[in-house]
Amino acid sequence: MKKRRKETLWAYLTSAPSLILILLIVVFPILYTGYISFTNMNVYHWFDFSFIGTENYKRALFVFDSGFLGALLATILWTIVNMVLQLVIAFVLASLLNIQNFKFRRVYKTLLMFPWAMPGYVSILLWKTGMFNSQFGLLNQWMEKLGLEAQRWLATDVSAFICCTVVNLWLALPFMIMIVDGALQSVDKSCYENAILDGANWVQRTIYLTIPSIKPIIAPSVIITVFTTFKQFDVIYLLTQQVGAKTGSNLHTILTYAYENAFVTNNYGYSSAVSIIIFVMLIAFSLLTRKRLREGE
Amino acid sequence: MKRWLAILLIVCLVTTLFVGCSQPEEISDGTVTITIWHDKEEEVAAVLQTELERLEPDIVVKLERKDGLTEALKLVGNDPKAAPDMYFFAHDKLGVYAEMGILAPISDFIDATALEAYLPMTIEAATYKGEIYQLPLYFETLLYMYNRRYMKDDKVPKTTEELYEYMRKTTVGGHYGFVEQHSTAYYSAGWIHAFGGYIINEEGQPGLDSKETIAALEYHKKFVEYMPSEGEYATVNTLFREAKAHSTIGGPWLVPTIRESGIDLGLAPMPVVNETGKAIAPYSGVQGLHVLKVAAGKKHDAIIKVLQQLTGDEVGIAIAKASGCAPAKLSCYDDPDVAKDLMVMSMYETAQNAVPMPNIPEMDVMWTVTENLLVDINMSGKDVTESAKAAQKKALDLIASMK
């Protein structure tokens, strides 16, 4: 009993620095944002701010106007489309990588992981100027070669949504491929042999054996990806909304919308209230996703 | 063994945590150290450093390059342990810092009469609510640039209608007569000012739906039709550098890369708008030194000496020679080398019409609102008046949200 208590104490002691670190860099900023959201901290009351109750929350609800509703719907659509495409493409590619006696598997794997090695900011701007730019972009050069008219790929909401999705897939697929690939490798090969002996074809093996086997393994990464896709900022902002380089599309996620309508005001109390409301939305969305995934198990 | 390794790792983690929170040591042998944050290019920093080394050994000035300077000042601007004593930056943020209460007026350190020797535009830029918060050193503004391969010196458009005619004739087959960042607030402001309009005035009142601004946006639109739809920095500058655009409006920071690309660069005064008789009047950014309140009391005398050292002509002339920036002090233009420098003198000429970027805090929200308005008009083809009214309402809402 004494030994057990000693071991528990030792475990807490060794993990204490990490827990303190997490408290400092994760929990404290959230709590502090919550505190600031109840104050009038802005340019005019930077250091002498005071408690103003729920005033900022009342004002924050004005940000959630029809524009915000559109951005929220776009964000949900964005998350669903990206998640579905990521899962399907990652599954297909990982399945191809797991074909027996597949040559150069490691080379392909490395190539597929390559986008992950590049900083997201660089990748996004490379796509913007290298692919989608109407003057110099590769897409319009191909269009020109084919005798077609040059397009403004990021100018309308629909085309910008498609372009942003392509870039997001490029950035996010390596992670999902790696997870699905690992999950596929963990499936017992003898199960496949039995299935083949029972006369199951590829589709049946996939539906009744592969997917149920890998589901518990990929579920956490799906939750993580849903979370990161829902709160996406950089892809949409850098491709379409960057100050000095706007493209004409009015595509917004809730974060880019909140940035343009609250964060630019330098009103930290007000912006914090908006952040906390979005934070609550994200938590709710994540809980919903987890519940759905559990129900599906 | 494992246990010792774990303890060692814990010690390392905790040590690195607290090392980050430590403070640099103060020199205590009578020497006063002045720390200046900046985000300028090496040439400018080197000139400043050389000039300020003349104050040694009594005063040691440390110039520290700081990325994200504006945000860092918001966080630590009133913290005596973390804030610098002074910072070197453009004037447009000084209203924000003055309202935050972290800036000390320059007039607390140098005699106001010393500032009479400066270009009025630069002092106007340094002034917020009647107080001067910046010692101006140099300024930047946009220039009309042309490729002499296509546009001869005597054929450079002097008016906007001449420019329009030139664009109509020469914009063909992937070539453009004139390009600019047509849908960004900084570049469009010049056209708006030429019509007597404004983005925001000194009182913090947006002017996006004023009849002058609407007239300017309406007039500017016809020029945009002969420019590439994407008017952002990379596209516009690449077109000019690759000799696909005959002329452009750009900042002096582009000149080195344009010359490296082998373009025979010409600089000319801004075209005059035919309808108003006024030249395109772009924004100017005045770079200079600001004093933080945290240092104003305890290092008062040293700050006076630093500022006095930088009020001489030498530093302005040296910066002009090193990086082609236009000095803020009028007497610097008497120097023969400065007077011969085409780029510096072009900026000096443009400065006669240039409007200092607003330094009021409200301007922070105007960049995005104005750009959205320009995108709606120039890229999405929306009605000018309706868009301007909507943008004005948005600007007022956001300004109200600042308080």
DSSP per residue over B41-53, as a string?
-HHHHHHHHHHHG
**Does a structural domain hold residue A3?**
no
Residue A127 has what DSSP assignment?
Answer: I
Name chain B contacts of A42, Cβ cutoff 8 Å.
402-403
A–B CB contacts, 8 A cutoff, strictly below: 101
A153 in Cβ contact with A188 (< 8 Å): no
Number of Cβ within 10 Å of residue B78's Cβ equals 17
CA distance B14 to chain A (A): 7
Residues of chain A scoring pLDDT < 70: 1, 63-66, 292-297
Nearest to B136 by CA among B146, B125, B144, B128: B125
Residues in chain B predicted with pLDDT less than 70, given as ranges, are 1-3, 6, 10, 12-14, 16-29
| CB-based contact, B11 to chain A, within 8 Å | no
Per DSSP, the residues of B175-226 read BBS-B--TTSHHHHHHHHHHTT--SB-TTS-B-TTSHHHHHHHHHHHHHHTT
Query: Is B401 at the interface with chain A, CB within 8 A?
Result: yes
Which candidate from A155, A246, A262 shows the least CB-CB separation from B371?
Answer: A246
Place of tokens 């392909």: A108
Share of chain A above pLDDT 90, in %: 31
Among B17, B181, B375, select the one facing A248 at the smallest CB separation: B375
Task: Centre a 10 Å sphere on the Cβ of residue B150 and count the other Cβ atoms it contains.
Answer: 16
A261 vs B contacts (CB less than 8 Å): 398
Q: What is the rounded distance in angstroms from the CA atom of residue B139 to the CA atom of residue B367? A: 20
- Calculate how close chain A gets to B58, using CA atoms only, in Å: 34
- Does the ipTM surpass 0.85? no
Q: Smallest Cα–Cα separation from B235: which of A130, A154, A148?
A: A130
Mapped onto helix, strand or coil, the DSSP state of residue B32 is strand
Report how far residue A39's alpha carbon sits from residue B171's, in angstroms, rounded to the nearest whole number.
55
Instruction: Select from B184, B372, B398 the Cβ nearest to the Cβ of A244.
Output: B184
**A26 three-class SS:** helix
In a domain, A43, yes or no: yes
End-to-end CA separation in angstroms for chain B: 59
| B142-282+359-401 placed in CATH 3.40.640.10 | no
pTM: 0.85
Q: Regarding beta strands B247-250 and B59-65, do their DSSP bridges make them parallel or antiparallel, or are they unpaired?
A: unpaired
Parent domain of A222: 10-296
**CATH classification code of B31-140+284-356:** 3.40.190.10
Could you tell me where in chain B the CATH 3.40.190.10 domains are found? 31-140+284-356, 142-282+359-401
Which of A43, A62, A242 to probe by mutation at the B interface, max B CB count within 10 Å? A43
**Residue B187: C-alpha distances to residues A6, B159, B248, B371 (Å):** 69, 17, 11, 10
A46 min Cα distance to partner chain B (Å): 5
Say how many C-beta atoms besides its own lie within 10 A of residue B238's C-beta.
17
The reported pLDDT for the residue numbered A70 is 86
Find out whether B228 and B175 touch, Cβ atoms under 8 Å: no
| pLDDT given at position B10 | 65
Interface residue B12 vs chain A (CB under 8 A): no
Q: Is the dihedral of CA A242, A246, A252, A257 positive or negative?
A: positive
Quickly count: other Cβ atoms within 10 Å of residue B390's Cβ: 18
* CB nearest A264 (choices: B6, B101, B365): B365
Task: Among B183, B238, B375, select the one facing A136 at the smallest CB separation.
Answer: B238
Q: Are A42 and B13 in contact (CB < 8 Å)?
A: no
Q: How many domains does chain A have?
A: 1
Q: Evaluate whether residue A4 is within a structural domain.
A: no
Bridge partners (DSSP) listed for residue B118: B329
The pLDDT of residue A262: 81
Name the residue in chain B with its Cα closest to that of A268: B402
Contact flag B402-A42 (C-beta cutoff 8 Å) = yes
- State residue A294's pLDDT score: 66
Query: Given an 8 Å threshold on Cβ–Cβ distance, is A21 in contact with B13?
Result: yes
The pLDDT value recorded for residue A192 is 83
Contacts of A243 in chain B (CB under 8 A): 184, 367-368, 371
In a domain, A161, yes or no: yes
Classify A133 as helix, strand or coil.
coil
The domain that holds A22 is classified in CATH as: 1.10.3720.10
Q: What is the DSSP letter of B360?
A: S
What amino acid occupies position B12?
C
Range B81-114 burial, b when 16+ CB lie within 10 A, else e: eebbbbbbbbbbbbbbbbbbbbbbbbeebbeeee
